[in-house]
Amino acid sequence: MVQPVHSSVPPAGVTDPFPSSGPRRLVHLFSNGLVTLIEGIAAVLLFGEICLLLASVIARYVLHAPIVWSDELAGMLFLWLSMFGAVLALRRGEHMRMTALVSRLTPSTRVFVDTVALTFSIALLAMILIPAYHYADGEAVIVTPALEISNAWRAAALPVGIVLMLVVGFARLLVLGKPTHIVAALAIAAVLVGAFYLLGPTLEPLGKANLLIFFVGIVAFCVFSGVPIAFSFALATFGYLALTTYTPLEVFVGRMDEGMSHLVLLAVPLFIFLGLLIEMTGMARAMIQFLASLVGHLHGGLSYVLIGAMYLVSGISGSKVADMAAIAPVLFPEMKKRGAKEGDLVALLSTTGAQTETIPPSIVLITIGSVTGVSISALFTGGLLPAVVLAAALCFVVWLRYRKEDLSQAQRFSRREIGRLFVVSLPALALPFVIRAAVVEGVATATEVSTIGIVYSIVIGLLVYRRFDPRRFGAMLVEAATLSGAIVFIIGCATAMAWALTQSGFSQDLAALMSKVPGGAWGFLLISIVAFVMLGSVLEGIPAIVLFGPLLFPIAHQAGVHEVHYAMVVILSMGIGLFSPPFGVGYYSACAISKVSPDAGIRHIGGYMAALALGLLIVAAVPWLSVGFL
């Protein structure tokens, strides 16, 4: 799995070893009690969001009496849910991070480096606490339009969440860190902060050279040192704004708030929960068993099933994390029995995440339509064939790698058995069409539609597959809240970094440079591919789209590139960057869900990434694949 912030931290879901000494024992008991309370609140918040959005759909579509304040309340609860989820992710060690270098250290050195990484995270939280408080206090004068209450009720989630993360972080440090390591780590953090503070007057005159120092140098140093990705982004951005600009630091917190408060992101925890529900009710297993009956007996057959299942499940959730969460637990055990290496499995899972970025109802498609004015229905139509091209490229690599796979344990199904499995899987196979129909017919928005999927899955699980364990319901809510908290916190930090890059003039310089690229439409597409692969690996899809979409789509139009075609090229390029190590946060999501170390996947991902790059070039070169059915 993705390595926790401290190497002694047990995997997610496993409690910390009970300390024997008195002070540590008290800290441990206090920490466990606090985390149990936070887990309960997070579960209630997520369940409340599901009920609220479902009630909104019923009121609007069935009763024709929309609840005008539902979106406002949902957004308010979502920020609290995200911050509580981020707290739980820190407690469980589920904030994603890169350990390619750290894992190669000796055990004792690694413990020290992990202690330093956790200390850096705590230092960031301590530095942004006061700005977060002032930001929330400033929001008190704003009255929400529908509920007519102070916006401080929503914004207070930021300082409260930061305080809770500080408490949890310090507790983990005290319980699991060695005293000498803790003292040394605190000293290192203090020296570095002091050094940068003293260098402030020297850094300010450097102008845009500071972009390399902070957004390349510091980010790379923190990421490869094992500091969680979100905290690495935030440290670089906070340092850049504090030391090289006169920007009030409350603005940094405000940009984080903006990134975490997009209502469309509410789809993330809901769809993650839907993915867990699909697995728990047996729907995912039924779907995969049917696909396995068709091709599972072939060399690399289960890998083909993984690619096909990701294509199908993408239509269910629209969230790549939820897609992977629904597929990996079902397929991976059997694939490992056949001798597949876990590194190859997570590499394929990650690249299928990039492959399916254009399959509706994709959150990125919805975002790109909202900020550029491109028809979302056209984007939904145009996104299906490009994903097929990339899937075919991945299948070719699978064929090369698994030509000599041992099939002694593979089962060949008769036509009668395939037909029976098809009938059994039909309710599960129908779910993507139910989801798409609800969106296309206007029954629910892309965010609300997950609640329809949740109700459908519960009904099918109870009545058809008869696999529904209510005892797991609470744990699934907590798991969805924790994972979504880690993801949304990354997006918030990436949004703050994107805003800082915009204020520096970087985005305008990039747009001006790309508009002057020779070669007309083809040159513009090629430079766009390179740029968005890089941006996708650093900024994540939604912030990159919000930042550069309005700037570059008009240039693409002037260059003669169809807007839907350009959208597909941009989204697939960002997807490749998002799921590419060492910076792509989507890759770490795949590792977290697969419970495989990121280091293991890096050794196998090269061939799959090359296939994606080839497929992307084909999509870019053949516009018909994107616009042929419009």
In the chain, where the domains are located: 22-261, 264-341+377-480, 498-627
The residues facing 143 across adjacent strands are 150
- Return the exposure string of 520-553: e unless at least 16 CB atoms fall within 10 Å of the residue's CB, then b: ebeebbebbbebbbbbbbbbbbbbbbbbbbebbb
Highest mean pLDDT among 207-211, 313-317, 479-483: 479-483
Determine contact, residues 138/64, Cβ cutoff 8 Å: no
Q: pLDDT, tens digit, for every residue of 379-409?
A: 888 888 999 999 999 999 998 888 877 666 6
- Non-local (6+) Cβ contacts of 470 within 8 A are none
Residue 9 has pLDDT above 50, yes or no: no
Query: CA 331 to CA 345: how far, in whole Å?
Result: 10
Query: CA 364 to CA 361: how far, in whole Å?
Result: 9
**Which amino acid appears at position 145 of this protein?**
P
Tell me if the pTM is above 0.75: yes
- Please report which confidence band the pLDDT of residue 48 belongs to, taking 50, 70 and 90 as the band edges: very high
Determine contact, residues 212/203, Cβ cutoff 8 Å: no
346's tokens: 């997570």
- Please report which confidence band the pLDDT of residue 42 belongs to, taking 50, 70 and 90 as the band edges: very high
The residues facing 150 across adjacent strands are 143
Q: pLDDT, tens digit, for every residue of 490-537?
A: 878 877 887 888 788 776 776 777 777 777 788 889 988 988 888 777
Residue 6 has pLDDT above 70, yes or no: no
- For residues 424 and 541, which has the higher predicted lDDT (pLDDT)? 424
Query: CA 267 to CA 322: how far, in whole Å?
Result: 10
Among residues of the chain, what percentage have pLDDT more than 90? 25
pLDDT at 99: 66
| Cα–Cα nearest to 307, from 360, 252, 350 | 350
- Non-local (6+) Cβ contacts of 376 within 8 A are 365, 366, 369, 370
Query: CA 249 to CA 360: how far, in whole Å?
Result: 38
Residue 598 has pLDDT above 50, yes or no: yes
pLDDT at 446: 66
Once rounded to an integer, what is the mean pLDDT over residues 556-583? 86
- Please report which confidence band the pLDDT of residue 236 belongs to, taking 50, 70 and 90 as the band edges: very high
DSSP line for 401-457: HTTT---TT--PPPHHHHHHHHHHHHHHHHHHHHHHHHHHTTSS-TTTHHHHHHHHH
Query: CA 541 to CA 522: how far, in whole Å?
Result: 23
